[in-house]
Copies of this chain bind each other. A is one copy, B any other.
């Protein structure tokens, strides 16, 4: 497999770098993964202060890239649910090391976990598989807050 090579290629990343570099993309992938399925307005709440336009645009991009799946139910009022594709789930796992790096690096000058940030559920990452009983923590884990 790839692990056997001592060299890798950035080329495949190029196609996706445009997507993951969008301001909200990783956050959206993360929060959908936190819940498995999420509706539009719930997504807005979870993300904090994103405009419907920006969320709509980004969701379309993520669908185009095959990272997010959209299920529309013909009901009144309409119901739409977003979930991660297999690729989306994998991406969410692949960014964990990046998260850990960001959480432990020494030269951080800008934002850390502050009270305002802790109020935004999308900033929390559920590493374990979601279950009925599992609830998201109301604050950042202490291990990170102490950084």
Measured CB to CB, the closest approach of chain B to A140, in angstroms, equals 4
Chain B residues, CB < 8 A from A86: 106
Chain B residue numbers with a CB within 8 Å of A96 are 8, 97
- Identical copies in the complex: 2
* A124 close to B26 (CB less than 8 A): no
Most-contacted residue by chain B among A23, A107, A122, A147 (CB, 10 A): A107
**CB <8 Å contact, B107 and A143:** no
CB of A53 within 8 A of chain B? no
- Which residues of A (91-147) have their CB < 8 Å from a CB of B? 91, 93-114, 117-118, 122-128, 136-137, 140-141, 143-144, 147
Contacting residues, chain B, for A143 (C-beta < 8 A): 1-2, 4-5
